[in-house]
Each structure stands twice: as C-alpha cells, then as structure tokens.
Structure 1
C-alpha cells in the first residue's frame, strides 16, 4: 500500500472518536425530542362560577353510624358548586338533636355546607338556639351573630365574629365564641361585656 493511503487511513482512525461522539450526541438529542414532554405542574382547578345543579325547597339529612338522624338542613334554594364541593343555601333552617335529647335550631338568610351537612356556616344574621335535654337546669341558650358555624358531628357552635349570647335573662357579648353543646360550656373571646342577673334566694 502506498504511503499516501497509509496517511489517509491514519487520519480516518484518528477521526473515529470524534465521529462516534458526534453520533452519540445526535442520538441523544433525537431521543430527548422523541420522549414525551413533562407538562410540569398542572394549574390548580378553577373555582366554578356556576352551579351544576339547583334545588328548590330542598332538604339534606345527616345520620350517624348507627342510622340515627343527627341533623336536617332545609333551604328555600340550594345550589351545588362542584369546585370546591359545597352547597350555597338561601333561607337556611338547621335542626338537630343528640342522643341525650339536647336540641339545636339555627336559622339565617343564607348559608354554606358540604353535601353531608357536617359543618354548616350561617351568614347574614344567624340565630341559633341550643335547648337542654329534659331535666337539665337552665333554659335555652340563644346565639346571635352575623356569621356562625355549626358542627353537627361534634355539636359545636362557634364564631370568629362578635356574638350575643342570652339565657334566662342574662345577656353577654363577645368578639368570638365557642359553645360545646355536649358539655354546655361556652367560651367567649376578646372583649366581653354584658349583664348577669343574680338569682334571688
């Protein structure tokens, strides 16, 4: 073989690593382009601006594990919004009674709840009356406030806004409130004012 061909062969052998690297780079680029692209974090679901259904003169009932009726929520109109899953209710009436016979009645011009009526939030001037069971001392406890929430599972009435509490002629106002219907204990937060009648002996 002539020296010229040896020179060409040596140069070709010297170029093989470069050509192999270039081919590998090209294959890698093709593989990346052919692979499914990561869409990244999907945008959060948008809050639905329109209800998916509307009910008139509707009722939602809640039962405990044994099948006992715990609470009933009536509404003149109920609108269901899928995102987030909630019911907006016009002219709310909430009725409940626990195993000891303690009753609960709550009304408001409007309210919000989930479909199981586990927690009902009453707005626009809520009025809640907790009635003790027969034989228990004290009369009904009344709560009035712009926004009041009722947990029908835990039997808790609460508000983070000013509330007026009245019972047996006593009136107390607080900046926030939490009432446990099972124990009858009411906690008032913030500045508390009111009047309390001392029982006559």
Structure 2
C-alpha cells in the first residue's frame, strides 16, 4: 500500500515536471498533456517492454493515465503558481526517481531477470520518461548532462539487487533503497555536485 501511494506520488511529480517543461516550450494544451504523460509513464513502459509485459501495466490501468492527464492539465492552467514551487518540485521529482528506479528493479527481479539486468532495467524505469521528455522538447537529456541523476537511480537499483541476493525483505529493501536515491539526488542538488565532463572538448 505504501509503495502504491509512493508510486502515484511519483507519477504526479513526473507528470507535473513534464507538463511544466512543455508549457515553458510554448506547447499547446494537447502537447502539454502528451509530454506530461510521456514523462510520467515512459520509464514504466520501457521497463515492461524489456520484460515482455504486453500491454504495459500503465496502459492497462486507467488510474495511471487519468492521474497523469489531470496533473498535466492542472499544470497547464496553474503553471505560474506551480513554477513558484521549484524546491517542492525538485524534491517530488527526486522521490519519483527513487520510487520508479527501485520498484522497477523489484519488478524485473520478480519476472526472473538476472540481478545485473534488473538493476539496469530499474535505472531505465527511473530515468526513461525524463529522457523522452527532453528529446521531445529538442533538449539534450538531463541524464546525459552533468547532474547526478542516473547515477543516483543506478545506486538505488543496485541496493535492491544486493538485497535480493542477500535475501533481505523485499518491501523494506525497496523503501530503504528509494530513500537512498532521494537523499543522493537532494544532496547533489544542495551541494551542486556534478559528474565530471571532458576538459577542452572543443
């Protein structure tokens, strides 16, 4: 029940961040909803496709689609107010990253994926929607830039994999791993940590 609640909170966070980015890119209401849906559901769809789950879970359960669509429309209408909640949005995005990366890893393990593959699938589940959002908006995906984002997702996914190997309680391991992802992401934002880039690349 707790994981379900966190998952929906993550959906709202990702849908809102995607919709807000679309508003800033001057897309119309349809474009805002599409980008919001893609950001929130893209990672989960990628996970399900890689695991052979057809149709993807988010497309078989209407509350997922409805939650994301309502969130995107709300952002479209109230975007000036939403834009002011920058810190709250970043925290919610970090929570969504943690939930999807760790829950995606758990799902992959439950479907029989090897531990290393499950960790990569979990990371993809966390970062996939944001990557597609950036591509739709003609931007270099956030995960390929300097910010500590994909690394945090992979760290959480790896913790879930280690817990699986050690036969630790799945639910507790997932919650702890998600908390680690959130902590890493928030700490990186606070301390302005960035992954290294090549010097004098030009």
Query: Given the two structures, how large is their TM-score scaled by the length of structure 2?
Result: 0.25
Q: Larger Cα Rg: Structure 1 or Structure 2?
A: 1
Higher helix share: 2
Structure showing greater relative contact order (alpha-carbon pairs closer than 8 Å, 6 or more residues apart): 2
Higher strand fraction (1 or 2): 1
